[in-house]
């Protein structure tokens, strides 16, 4: 902050831009007394575009638009920026006020534990210096003073598990690659983020891209890799641009390339863009795609850790997994393991979306219940109607009825209840949702996005759509054909579960069965004895 | 911008020939520069990258992003992901399909999640992401598209 000038922060995050952040930045950027910084988003997405202004009391947040659509003026920001530390944040600025002054004090953020997403919305994602000034590169610096095997063990001791969905222990995966046949090895960041209801990978790449690069470099050192790829879905142009810029800046600063900061590590990274196929988020399909082939799933074994990209030992990790590693190396694995529960160590960046009042990014220790997340933090539905269902874990995740929302969000509690955490997406539906239609959608999605390799997935899902169409058409007057349709549907689910090579076909039955079990009335079945009925 | 299409395809793809796994970046580049990937491009691409024509064709047809004809002047990609459906995304998709059904210059497609799930319904209009959409808002944003 230069004397006599005021710094304002406007997110360049795609979600903020989707509701006008670029217009706000253009307007404020023209003012001669304002210095404009484009940051990522803090994750209070319902408040976007959220403008912040530097003041003696810290960064004060204001919504860029009043309810009547009037845009916040530069003068308002200047008056807050120059106000004494004791000045109230509200008053004349009430129309834009968040009800609090400092952004960090907002209850939505104050109760979070930000580890992976600590810098989101705070730093300038284009500035390598800003990253360094906010604790960046500390983990990599420390890693480079350690033996690679010791870095692997540090990650093992953190208890970190993969955030991409399967929850495999990250340290064990790295240990396998480190011990694989010598020679060329790769680190691949899975940034395909195809699960509907999830956006944390995107926000991290747009708001703190150096964290991903630092995590990949630490991984490369630990496992002896020299080349990295970030496979980003084409639906994320902002993230692609942010990562490419960050790679160039990291190279210029000596954090990528040959002999990183004079060390024995030589490692470089390239962004690769997907082409509109959900299945390419599955790791072996992603590897096929990177090699320039159809994104068809490979049978395992061999596992990618031993024979991955171009048949070489390869680490495939989700963006959030890799972006958490710098903090683990900087502060120690045990410090990270102190968060969370028994087998779910650390924090999880939950993504609250759908029909929710306060939607956004919520990083917390594992263990909060779905109800606390959607009601206490999310504030219930956006429509104001009762919550009827919550889908957890993306398009292959279960629909939980309002009655079952007290399950804790940990890998083990979710699995025990027959659900899954997936990539941490939590999507809220009010009482107008038709779970019969959502079950049909799950089958339709599978039919459209199946890689086509196995019949139960490719054909089973297509038959699932047709069968559900008939069930839904008959549900007002169910007869014998309706009953036969339902039994065919459960048979199809069983066939898909048993005969699919990957979780696309194997887990599509999860949303279908959970809808059927907890919301039978939406399929024309008697709801009298069931717990999940309409309120 | 000179030369036949074949020559230009060859020139673009050659830039990627030394990369590891060059086919996807090369296809993206051809589509970006020339507007679409022609069926006849496969032979040239295959030749430069030392692949079979069938391989190239198989890859092009696998991925939804690759077109075999020029795009229309305007595009509307409406999200049909669950989070958007929870706030009216399906209705928005259906309304958009019928709104532009008779307008040749506009293509409406479905997408499954744009990563904007807290601010739905979401859609990309001419590639730009918009959130908190309604049918009226789409109408306002696409004024003059007919
Ligand atoms: C159908 C399907 C889609 C997947 N999509 C993604 C994805 O978009 N992003 C991701 O990180 N992992 C995805 N995965 C999980 C990956 O296969 C893999 O487990 C993960 O990238 C490993 O990284 P992690 O251990 O850090 O989670 C998907 C899996 C399946 C079966
Ligand atoms: S289950 Fe479906 S997506 Fe997975 S390998 Fe088989 S056909 Fe492909
Ligand atoms: S579900 Fe529509 S943007 Fe994610």
Q: Check CB contact under 8 Å for B21 and A273.
A: no
> What is the average per-residue pLDDT within B34-63?
97
Mutate to test the pocket of ligand 1, among A160, A165, A511 (most ligand atoms within 8 A of CB): A165
CA distance A529 to A199: 37
The phi, psi pair for A63, rounded to 5°, reads: -70, 140
Is A196 close to ligand 3, i.e. is its CB under 6 Å away? yes
B78 and B136 housed in the same domain: yes
Distance A180 CA to ligand 2 centre (A): 28
Tell whether B126 is covered by a domain: yes
Ligand 1 geometric centre to CA of A518 (Å): 27
pLDDT number for residue A102: 86
Nearest CA in chain A to B55: A293
Structural domain includes residue B56: yes
Among chain B residues, the shortest Cα distance to A273 is held by: B25
Cα angle: A234, vertex A236, A238; to 5 degrees: 130
Which pLDDT tens digit goes with each residue over A333-370?
999 999 999 899 999 999 999 999 999 999 999 999 99
Gyration radius (Cα) of chain B, Å: 18
Residues B56 and B96 placed together within one structural domain of the fold: no
pLDDT digits (tens, 9 = 90+) for A458-475: 999 999 999 999 999 999
Residue B134 and residue B86 share a domain: yes
**A32, pLDDT greater than 80:** yes
Residue A306: the pLDDT is: 98
Instruction: Assess whether B58 and B90 both reside in one domain.
Output: no
Taking the C-alpha atoms of residue B38 and residue B5, their distance in angstroms, rounded to an integer, is 9
Does the bond joining A302 to the residue before it have cis omega, within 30 degrees of 0?
yes
The domain limits of chain A are 6-104, 128-337, 340-430, 435-523
Residues B34 and B85 in one domain: no
Q: Relative to the CA of A450, which ligand 2 atom is closest?
A: 3
Residue ranges making up the domain that contains B93: 74-141
The topology under which CATH files domain A6-104 is Glutaredoxin (3.40.30)
Residue A13 DSSP one-character state: -
Strand order in the sheet with A314-318: A268-273, A227-232, A186-191, A314-318
Same domain, B92 and B54: no
Mean pLDDT, chain A, rounded, equals 94
With cut-offs at 50, 70 and 90, classify the pLDDT of residue A68.
confident
Does one domain contain both B136 and B78?
yes
- Show the tokens assigned to B89: 């995304």
pLDDT confidence of A528, banded at 50, 70, 90?
low
Structural domain contains residue B146: no
For residue A217, what are the CA distances in angstroms to A255, A267, A269, A468, B13? Answer: 8, 7, 9, 48, 30
| Residue spans of alpha helices (H) in A90-145 | 107-110, 128-133, 138-144
| CA nearest to B116 within chain A | A15
pLDDT at A100 over 70: no
**8 Å CB contact of B87 and A236:** no
Distance of alpha carbon A11 from alpha carbon A40, whole angstroms: 5
- Helix, strand, coil distribution of chain A in percent, nearest 5: 45, 15, 40
What's the pLDDT score for residue A93?
Answer: 55
In a domain, residue B69? The reply is no
- B109, B69 Cβ separation under 8 angstroms: no
Among B62, B83, B115, select the one facing A294 at the smallest CB separation. Answer: B62
Residues B125 and B105 reside in one and the same domain? yes
What's the pLDDT tens digit per position in A368-395? 999 999 999 999 999 999 999 999 999 9
Segment holding A314, helix H or strand E? strand A314-318
Ligand 3 centroid to residue B122 C-alpha, Å: 6
| Residue B116, min C-alpha distance to chain A (Å) | 6
CATH of the domain at B114: 3.40.30.10
Residue B40 distance to chain A (closest CA, Å): 19
Candidates B66, B114, B118; nearest CB to A235: B114
Give the CATH class of A435-523: mainly alpha
- In this structure, are B57 and B81 located in the same domain? no
Mutation pick for ligand 1 pocket among A282, A411, A424 (CB with most ligand atoms within 8 Å)? A282
Residue B34 lies in a domain: yes
Distance A401 CA to ligand 1 centre (A): 26
How many domains would you assign to chain B? 2
Domain boundary at B62, B94, B111, which? Answer: B62
Residue A168 clears pLDDT 60, i.e. is over it: yes
Residue B8: pLDDT above 70? Answer: yes
Give the model's pLDDT for residue A95: 57
User: Which residues have CB under 8 Å from B27's CB, separation 6+?
Assistant: A275, B37, B45, B59, B60, B63, B66
CA distance to partner chain B, nearest, from residue A82 (Å): 33
Long-range pairs, B67-72, Cβ under 8 A, ≥24: B67/B31, B67/B35, B67/B36, B67/B37, B68/B36, B68/B37, B68/B38, B68/B39, B69/B36, B70/B35, B70/B36, B71/B35, B71/B36, B71/B107, B72/B104, B72/B105, B72/B106, B72/B107
pLDDT digits (tens, 9 = 90+) for B76-134: 999 999 999 999 999 999 999 999 999 999 999 999 999 999 999 999 999 999 999 99
Whether B68 is in a domain gets the answer no
CATH architecture of the region A340-430? Roll (3.10)
- B40 and B89, same domain (yes or no): no
- SS3 sequence, A154-203? HHHHHCCECCCCCCCEHHHHHHHHHCCCCCCCEEEEEECCCCCCCCHHHH
Q: Which two tokens stand for residue A479?
A: 């007869």
Class of domain A128-337: alpha beta
- Report the alpha-carbon distance of residue A396 to residue A321 in Å, rounded: 20
Residue A45 at interface with chain B, using a CB cutoff of 8 Å: yes
Ligand 3: which of A48, A196, A238, A511 to mutate, judged by most atoms within 8 Å of the beta carbon? A196
Q: Do B131 and B95 fall into the same domain?
A: yes
Give this complex's ipTM: 0.97
Confidence (pLDDT) at A220: 98
Across the interface, of A14, A437, A441, the residue whose CB is closest to B129 is A14
Among all ligands shown, which has an atom nearest to the Cα of B89? 3
Q: Flag whether the pTM goes above 0.95.
A: yes
Question: What is the DSSP code string of B110-125?
Answer: EES--S-TTS-S-EEE
Residues A424 and A365: their CA atoms lie apart, in Å, by 12
């Amino acid at each position: 902050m230069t004397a006599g000038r005021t710094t304002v922060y406007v997110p360049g995050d795609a979600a903020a831009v989707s509701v006008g952040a670029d217009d706000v930045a253009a307007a404020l950027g023209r003012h001669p007394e304002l210095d404009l910084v484009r940051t990522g988003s803090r994750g209070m997405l319902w408040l976007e575009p959220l403008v912040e202004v530097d003041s003696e009391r810290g960064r004060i947040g204001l919504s860029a638009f009043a309810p009547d659509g009037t845009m916040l003026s530069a003068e308002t920001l200047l008056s807050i920026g120059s106000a004494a530390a004791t000045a109230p944040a509200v008053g004349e600025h009430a129309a834009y006020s968040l009800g609090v002054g400092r952004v960090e004090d907002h209850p939505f953020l104050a109760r979070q534990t930000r580890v992976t997403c600590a810098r989101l919305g705070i730093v300038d994602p284009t500035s390598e210096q800003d990253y360094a000034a906010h604790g960046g590169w500390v983990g990599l610096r420390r890693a480079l003073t350690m033996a690679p095997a010791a870095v692997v063990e540090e990650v093992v001791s953190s208890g970190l598990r993969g955030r991409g969905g399967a929850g495999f222990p990250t340290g064990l995966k790295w240990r396998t690659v480190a011990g694989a046949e010598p020679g060329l090895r790769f680190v691949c960041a899975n940034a395909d983020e195809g699960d509907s209801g999830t956006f944390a990978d995107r926000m991290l790449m747009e708001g703190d891209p150096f964290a991903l690069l630092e995590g990949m470099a630490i991984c490369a050192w630990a496992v002896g890799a020299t080349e990295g790829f970030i496979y980003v879905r084409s639906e994320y142009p902002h993230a692609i641009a942010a990562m490419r810029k960050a790679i160039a800046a990291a190279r210029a600063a000596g954090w990528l390339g040959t002999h990183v900061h004079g060390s024995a590590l030589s490692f470089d990274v390239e962004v690769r863009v997907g082409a509109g196929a959900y299945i390419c988020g599955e790791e072996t399909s992603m590897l096929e795609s990177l090699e320039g082939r159809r994104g068809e799933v490979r049978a395992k074994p061999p596992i990618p850790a031993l024979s991955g990209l171009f048949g070489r030992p390869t680490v495939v990790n989700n963006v959030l997994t890799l972006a958490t590693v710098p903090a683990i190396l900087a502060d120690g694995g045990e410090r990270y393991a102190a968060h969370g529960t028994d087998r779910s160590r650390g924090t999880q960046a939950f993504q609250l979306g759908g029909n929710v009042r306060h939607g956004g990014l919520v990083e917390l220790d594992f263990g909060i219940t779905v109800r606390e997340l959607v009601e206490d933090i999310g504030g219930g539905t956006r429509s104001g109607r009762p919550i009827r269902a919550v889908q957890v874990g993306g398009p292959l995740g279960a629909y939980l009825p309002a009655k079952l929302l007290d399950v804790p969000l940990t890998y083990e509690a979710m699995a025990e209840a027959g659900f899954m955490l997936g990539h941490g997406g939590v999507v809220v539906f009010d009482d107008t949702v038709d779970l019969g239609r959502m079950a049909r959608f799950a089958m339709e999605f599978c039919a459209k996005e199946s890689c086509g390799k196995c019949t139960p997935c490719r054909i089973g899902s297509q038959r699932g759509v047709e069968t559900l169409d008939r069930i839904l058409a008959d549900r007002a007057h169910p007869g014998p054909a309706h009953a036969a349709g339902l039994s065919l549907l459960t048979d199809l689910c069983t066939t898909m579960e048993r005969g699919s090579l990957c979780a696309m076909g194997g887990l599509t039955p999860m949303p279908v069965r959970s809808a059927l079990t907890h919301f039978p009335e939406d399929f024309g079945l008697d709801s009298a004895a069931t717990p999940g009925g309409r309120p | 911008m000179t030369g036949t299409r074949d020559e230009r395809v060859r020139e673009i793809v050659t830039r990627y020939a030394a990369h590891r796994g060059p086919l996807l970046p090369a296809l993206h580049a051809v589509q970006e520069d020339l507007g679409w990937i022609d069926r006849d491009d496969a032979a040239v691409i295959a030749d430069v990258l030392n692949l079979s024509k069938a391989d190239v064709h198989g890859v092009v047809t696998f991925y939804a992003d690759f077109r075999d004809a020029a795009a229309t002047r305007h595009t509307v990609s409406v999200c049909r992901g669950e989070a958007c459906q929870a706030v009216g995304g399906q209705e928005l998709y259906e309304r958009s399909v019928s709104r532009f059904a008779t307008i040749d210059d506009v293509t409406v497609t479905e997408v499954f999640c744009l990563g904007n799930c807290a601010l739905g319904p979401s859609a990309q209009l001419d590639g730009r992401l918009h959130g908190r959409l309604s049918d009226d808002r789409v109408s306002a944003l696409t004024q003059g598209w007919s």
